[in-house]
A and B are shown apart, each in its own frame.
Chain A
């Protein structure tokens, strides 16, 4: 009998302990961040952030752009996070999301050009990513294919079945690619082009980094993806070349914002300030194709991969408001015309 009651007491203590341990409510000095930055970046950023912000416990959940959006909207009745960090600006300016944000003028945001921040101070973008082709030189050679330099080049029938790009319905990168094509060519010509490109397309795949990933493994010759993953793959030693389409690369800003529902705004603001601090800017140089914080030199990897010193010259000046506004319509048309 005695044994049983001791056992029960212990069990109860354990259960209580576990419940306290996993208590979801945020404690003082603790912030939760949702982010769509790449995993490796987050790991590196947090190492420094935790050193610079002692006393703040930082939890980060990383999900891809689409997944994160779904989660934030699903949780909107009672958000679990204090900050959205490095999430596609096109998604951020969705009115439903904007309604959840609190204006805050982070220290250092005054140095950012206007296009890198919300006029109402609800978000700012310290960094961004740009579209780029990943070309597998090994496979290209085996198949005897020419090196493409532009979107237009990809219409060459020789590439039939050798191309891969993200499905814009699930991938932020995919949407920014077709948005830039439609804006640069005009909608009518743009759709004509996309339909012609469709004849060569091996696959529309669900995520933005996958085209590059499959290309670097030699599954396809050319993957329409983004610059970060291309540069990283080259550094890791894959037989890969990064090509920035000569029409200009579509790009996306990685926006950061404070949730109005945050229960620890004091620490959250400290983190927002940190993302614009010199220590953070130093890290951006290591990974980022687009850095809005002035005076940051791009990393050697970027140069080695063929990124020009002044990226603004190769960027297509995408109209974000336009691209966000037309999102539903463009995706619907894409599904009608091109979905397989």
Chain B
């Protein structure tokens, strides 16, 4: 085409953006929106073919329901405040101090994400249970079941995820505002409040939102260590599993959505004013040595990581024990899994997790890219649906998938009972977190890059390939590993979707624990941790091999 002559019509860049948009929106509607709409409809279904509010009214007259709502909110607020604070200071220590052992601390802090959430509760019971190590040793009678048990377990569960987001926010910083502030005579306090905090504002708000939603929807921890302390997520289990009451279960799911949607609205509102805060020519901030700060941060990180190591180590230890807590002699018998398909579920989990990592990255970055690059109603909807999964308890999503995919009139019925449905389920279960990470890192790339690239004559495709992707590579790999890790450990969403021939590792852990084989469950958890660690080492190796410089968390 001769230069200077442009055909009227759609600009190819817009077309490409549109195609990417279509490729992420269609599956999002098929695999998230439709199933969830069906759960929504079920909540209004009374008997066969009748509609009404009866499910809601019967739920809300029970006094117990309001107790559960209060429990959920109280627990979630406390866990959110504590784990975001812990994560904030820890991320600061990792990114802004010169304390030794940062790599080790980072890996240890992520340990809770390497295993099914059952693990924290198991570890806490081994440690702090009524007959746990600490009570036996000190002759105490600490009661862990109930609010405190769930609180501690959920803080350990949520802390790494808050840390991940905050650390990413701290990691990308320009040293010049700090220098400028110092030259203008600002003291440390002023620098912290006027430079540091505004710089990570978006990350802070995202982490509060994330911790709030994953805590209020967590099922594993309250299940194991909650005792008489019921929360909304366990209430769904009671309604569906014990009473086979799908309609009421869907009512509670819908009610569970309310606080999360509010949190979501606040996050969006606060995030709207956020500007790209990373200038194009970044002077990376290199933290200076500060003996006082470094010592404090080292002590703090040691205590925090010490607790995490203790909880995980006790589970690993128990997996080699004959008869906890009465016969502590060493044995490998717990690793001879004679039931639950032996090692098969572990292999299936690895396959499903690899597929989820690949598909997840493509879809998540596609969505984040479209959302960050254009503004219209459809994009707003895409944004909303991309974050919605954070508000959907795994169990609800699992049930929604049964309703939707096990309907013979649905052509997608062919997926039911295969590894594909497990993969897709995991992708959309963890979509929001992946999307937020992708979005955060995309937001931190100034649009000037694109403009410059466009001025130099590059089209959108070239810009993506030459500019965006290389900058994003570390985030892409983090998100891939995130999907892999979460899929390896996901439980509630898949419990209704596994089939006799296609079972997953985390479900095996739960079933082993359910059957009373606690130490075998500990052994299976240990294997899952091992697989995830191997995957991380492998990733590290690949990064080194290709000499990718990365500020990413995980590597």
Interface residue ranges, A against B (CB under 8 Å): 18-19, 22-24, 32-33, 38-40, 42-43, 59-62, 64, 66-67, 69-71, 73-75, 77-78, 80, 94, 138-139, 167-171, 202-207, 209-210, 212-213, 217-220, 229, 232-233, 236-239, 328, 331, 335-336, 339-340
- Asked whether, in the complex, the Cβ of A22 is within 8 Å of the Cβ of B228, the reply is no
B64: A residues at CB distance < 8 A: 335-336, 339
Interface contact B325-A218, CB-CB below 8 Å: yes
Residue ID in chain A nearest B517 by CB atoms: A39
Most buried by B among A73, A169, A220, A331: A169
**Contact in complex: A167, B131 (CB < 8 Å):** no
**Using Cβ atoms and an 8 Å threshold, which residues of chain A touch B496?**
67, 70-71, 74
In the assembled complex, the CB of A209 is this many whole angstroms from the nearest CB of chain B, namely 5
Give, as a whole number of angstroms, the nearest-CB distance from B546 to chain A: 20
**Main DSSP-derived SS at the B contact region:** loop
Question: Which among B129, B241, B246 is the interface contact of A170 at CB below 8 angstroms?
Answer: B241
List the A side residues contacting B501 at CB < 8 Å. Answer: 22, 59
Structural contact, B242 and A78, CB atoms closer than 8 A: no
CB-CB nearest in chain B for A42: B339
Given A73-B246, A212-B516, answer yes or no on A218-B228 (Cβ-Cβ < 8 Å).
no
Known: A70-B240, A202-B227. 14 other contacts (CB 8 A): A22-B502, A24-B499, A32-B499, A43-B339, A62-B340, A75-B402, A80-B417, A80-B499, A168-B242, A218-B325, A219-B125, A335-B64, A339-B230, A340-B228
Contacts A40-B515, A43-B339, A217-B131 hold; do A239 and B326 have CB atoms under 8 A apart?
A: yes
Residues of the B chain whose Cβ atoms lie less than 8 Å from the Cβ of A328:
243
Closest A residue, CB atoms, query B520: A39
| Distance from A74 Cβ to chain B, minimum over Cβ atoms (Å) | 4
- Are A32 and B131 in contact, CB atoms less than 8 angstroms apart? no
Q: With a CB–CB cut-off of 8 A, which chain B residues contact A213?
A: 516, 518
| A217 and B242 within 8 A (CB) | no
3 closest A-B pairs by CB: A218-B131, A170-B242, A59-B500
Cα distance A24–B515 in the bound complex, in angstroms: 27
Given contacts A237-B323, A238-B326, whether A77 and B407 have CB atoms under 8 Å apart is yes
CA distance A340 to B229 in the complex (A): 7
- Docked CA distance A100–B242 (Å): 20
Q: Which of B64, B131, B241, B511 has the most CB of A within 10 A?
A: B241
Asked whether B414 lies within 8 Å of A24 as measured between CB atoms, the reply is yes
How long is the Cα–Cα vector from A162 to B292 in the complex, in angstroms? 49
CB interface residues, B 479-507, toward A, < 8 Å: 495-496, 498-502
CB distance from B224 to the nearest CB of A (A): 9
Contact between chains at A33 and B500 (CB < 8 Å): yes
Q: Of B131, B327, B408, B514, which is within 8 A of A219 by CB? A: B131
Alpha-carbon distance A24/B502, docked complex (angstroms): 10
Decide if B340 touches A217 in the complex (CB within 8 Å).
Answer: no
- How far, in angstroms, from A61 to B508 measured CA to CA in the complex? 11
Count, A-B residue pairs, CB within 8 A = 148
Number of B residues whose C-beta is below 8 Å from A?
57
B340 — which chain A residues lie within 8 A by C-beta?
Answer: 39, 62
Contact of B241 among A23, A61, A70, A335 (CB under 8 A): A70
Q: Which of A39, A69, A78 has the most CB of B within 10 A?
A: A39
Contact B406 A77 (CB under 8 A): yes
Do A66 and B516 touch across chains, with their CB atoms under 8 A apart? Answer: no
- Bound together, the chains give a CA A220 to CA B403 distance in angstroms of 40
Which of these, A40, A43, A61, A74, contacts B399 with CB under 8 Å?
Answer: A74
Residue B115 at the A interface, CB < 8 A? Answer: no
Taking the complex as formed, is B130 at the interface, i.e. its CB lies under 8 A from any CB of chain A? yes
Please, which residue of chain B has its CB at the minimum distance from the CB of A24?
Answer: B417
Shortest CB-to-CB span from A212 to chain B, Å, is 7
CB distance from B135 to the nearest CB of A (A): 10
Are the CB atoms of B243 and A217 closer together than 8 Å? no
Shortest distance in angstroms between B77's beta carbon and chain A's nearest beta carbon?
A: 21
Q: How distant is B508 from chain A, measured CB to nearest CB, in Å? A: 10
Interface members, chain B 48-64 (any A CB < 8 Å): 62-64
Contacts of B227 in A (CB 8 A): 202-203, 205
Chain B residues near A233 (CB-CB < 8 A)? 516
Q: B295 in the interface, Cβ–Cβ < 8 Å?
A: no
Q: Which A residues lie within 8 Å of B324 (CB)?
A: 217
Give B149 Cβ to nearest chain A Cβ, in Å: 11
* Binary A-proximity of B397-432 (CB < 8 A = 1, otherwise 0): 001001100111000011011111000000000000
CA distance A43 to B498 in the complex (A): 18
Residues of chain A with a CB closer than 8 A to B323's CB: 236-238
**Contact among A39, A75, A239 for B511, CB-based, below 8 A:** A39
Contact of B238 with A by CB under 8 A: yes
Q: A61-B499, A70-B496, A78-B408 are in contact. Are A167 and B238 (CB under 8 A)?
A: yes
